[in-house]
Amino acid sequence: MVRADDTVILLEVARCGTLLGAAAALGVDHSTVSRRLTALEKDLGATVVIRSAQGCRLTDLGREVAEAAERIEEALADVRGHAQNPTGSSRLTGLLQVSSSEAFGVHFVAPVLARLQHQHPGLRVELVIATRPLLQTVGADIEIVVGQPGAGQNNAVPLAEYTMGMYASPEYLQRRGTPHSPGELRDHTLVFYIEPLMRITDLHIIERHFSGCTIGFASTNVFAHVEATKAGSGIGLLPAFLGDREPGLNRLFADEVSISLDYVASMAARVMRRPAAQLVMAELGREVARRRSELRGRAAS
């Protein structure tokens, strides 16, 4: 017989994409997650998760089981919300999960979710930081990515345009000299992503815009780019809304190097009619409209 607890673990694996992530979310060790998935597969007589170095991917059966577990979770949230709010007022309840890249998630999504949760105490919100589109069709209710969303997220809408620019610390420029044109960047080292590990094709921009340049410091985390650039590791290719807020960084070639990219948001089909999801999308739209000049960058506004 299938244990309900095991389906909850599968659902969390679908949301996090890894055993370690699911274990952290559930407050257990990853061996427990692995063991319960194995038990679930034994009970079902079939594989529900394909495990690899890149993460966990659900099989067709795994998605069916996870979707069933999610429906149960949502039904229980509705019952709990009704018990807490029997008068049926307009306050929102239940769980809403948003997936976003780290910089936009921290500086734009988190404030919106915090305000809404304050206005609707019965609403639980989760912000999942992801540097690549989700592998699963089950998972975040709203997914925000650079470029196109992952599989199963067909209701995509442009959310915000932002600018990437070149930044350097005074210490680096004093040590290595200030380049006077983008062509001189070949004599410098850049700070950017580890491109072979990036699944967001829109961020594969070094070869397109800076062919022949060398990445001296690379990381999968944009906040590491900021800190490495501040420390003088090289010239950082940073989102303007991060670089401009650092008083110790100088923007270079603002007119010549101003790369525009798009944040795209999509709602999973199963939550399109949920008032909480609709409200989050509306509030995100208002937030980016209010802070549009910040996204574009001071030098480009």
pLDDT of the residue at 81: 54
What's the CA gap between 187 and 14, in Å, rounded?
45
Residue 135 predicted with pLDDT over 70: no
Residue 24 predicted with pLDDT over 60: yes
Give percent of the chain with pLDDT exceeding 90. Answer: 46
For the chain, strand residue ranges (E) read 49-52, 55-58, 94-100, 123-129, 142-146, 156-168, 189-192, 214-218, 235-239, 250-252, 259-267
Classify 48 as helix, strand or coil: coil
Write the pLDDT tens digit of every residue in 66-92: 888 877 776 766 665 555 555 454 578
Write the pLDDT tens digit of every residue in 268-296: 766 777 889 889 999 999 999 999 999 99
Architecture in CATH for domain 161-260: 3-Layer(aba) Sandwich (3.40)
Neighbouring C-beta atoms of residue 279, cutoff 10 Å = 17
What's the CA gap between 153 and 24, in Å, rounded?
25
Residue 65 predicted with pLDDT over 70: yes
Average pLDDT, the chain: 85
Q: Which of 27-41, 146-160, 236-250 has the lowest mean pLDDT?
A: 146-160
* Positions of CATH 1.10.10.10 in the chain: 1-86
Neighbouring C-beta atoms of residue 234, cutoff 10 Å = 25
pLDDT of the residue at 137: 47
Architecture in CATH for domain 1-86: Orthogonal Bundle (1.10)
Smallest Cα–Cα separation from 85: which of 212, 275, 248? 275
pTM of the model: 0.70
pLDDT of the residue at 18: 84
Residue 227: band (very low, low, confident or very high) from pLDDT cuts 50, 70, 90: very high
**Which sign, positive or negative, has the C-alpha torsion 167, 99, 277, 82?**
negative
pLDDT of the residue at 175: 95
CA dihedral 267, 268, 271, 273 (to 10 degrees): 60
* Per-residue 3-state assignment (H helix, E strand, C coil) for 130-143: CCCCCCCCCCCCEE
* Positions of CATH 3.40.190.10 in the chain: 161-260
